Amino acid sequence: MSSFSQRTTTAPAGPATVHTLPTPVQDVVTWRGSFRTNPDFAAGEELLQDLVVRLLDKGTRKRDRFALAGILEDRGAQLGFNAEALRVRLSGRALKQDIPAVLELMAEQLREPALDAEEFEKARAQVTAGLRRAYENTGARASSALAHRLYPEAHPNFDPGVPALLDRLSSITIDDIRAYHDEHFRSADFHLVFVGDLDEETIRSDVRTQFDGWNATPAPEQFEGRKAAGQAGVPIHESIPDKANFDVSFGHAVDLLRTDPDFIPLYVGTFVLGGNFSARLMTIVRDEMGLTYGIRAGLNGFTGEHTGHFNTRVTLSGDGLEPGIAATRNELRRFMEDGITKDELAEKQETISGSFKVGLATTSGIAASLLTNIERGFGPAYLDAF
């Protein structure tokens, strides 16, 4: 089979850049897309973005939510939207013959959402409930406290904490939601990836028709990708009544972008340390020493646009708290001093590459991977090179 780069065609289609990859699957087309929104994280605009996205399928200026759902159900089609840091992502799946109708619906939801006040209140209640649940979760609290310490407020990975988020959420109005949509939902850095049984020129024509005239001027950038890290230092202790177990997070900021050459070596080394059930931390601290229910190490929050952090998280009982922390620190220290073995490297290389190939077994997986690497500036060829 020819490479992904040889089979993928990239061409402009109105304000969007469309990437198409024909595959043998019959009659079905899957797509993924995103556009850059540039929310101001220091001002809490990630909440506004999340709320707008939650309202996209709740009606447009032309159709109510029942009409939108009926169009998709009648065709067995799917549409989805989600907010992710500096971008809004979208996804879809439909029969080849239904692509024009479903793309029309997607464009209508993105460009002309109703942003109804009653639906907004429902969405706010859902977000509020989700935040309160997270506040009672020891793992979520540990991760939140670490991200709060590691990043400056304007960084997409900064976590202000649930109390601050709830306070911000309570002050948002429907007018704030509508203003955010007007100012940030534009076709800036707009990419669409289509995979499946498709006619490439027809797809580009359909996209051009539906998105022609959508404002392509990006919202002002509020964030520089390599801002200085936040505070380091003394441990943070968070108390949650009636919780018998503890979640402990160790971490530090890392001045790397996902596109930097050192990222892959760092990722593989970290995977050896704590990436899966056969990684060193799990084998030693859990299986051999019996000190934890679970322990992982990973790299969090890295993109081609901003830095992230290294994090080790361990779940411990009250009796095992101090021994578990000591054992985890010892293994981290040993890892830094001794490095990894050739056998560990070979095993994890095989695991990572195998998982990557499994992810490309479906049109959905291919579309998602293509989009991610296009956003990072790597292009389709990276799927072959990785």
User: Half-sphere exposure (CA, 13 Å, Cβ side) for 27?
Assistant: 6
- Looking from the CA of 166 toward its CB, the CA atoms found within 13 Å total 12
**24-39 per-position pLDDT tens digit:** 999 999 999 999 999 9
- At 285-294, the pLDDT tens digits run 998 888 888 9
Which pLDDT tens digit goes with each residue over 3-21? 887 899 999 999 999 999 9
Q: What are phi and psi of 251, to 5 degrees?
A: -170, 165
Three-state SS at 273: helix
Task: Show the tokens assigned to 201.
Answer: 């020129």
pLDDT, residue 231, reads 62
> What contacts 196, CB < 8 A, 6 or more positions away?
22, 23, 25, 28, 29, 30, 96, 363
Structure confidence at residue 227 as a pLDDT band (50, 70, 90): low
d(CA 383, CA 3): 9
Q: What is the pLDDT of residue 229?
A: 64
The pTM for the full model equals: 0.92
Residues 191, 183: Cα–Cα separation, whole Å: 19
Nearest CA-CA partner of 78 in 138, 17, 28, 4: 28
The pair of three-digit structure tokens given for residue 289, joined into one six-digit string: 């020493």
Q: What is the pLDDT of residue 291?
A: 86
Confidence of residue 236 (pLDDT cuts 50, 70, 90): confident
How, if at all, do strands 191-196 and 16-22 pair? parallel
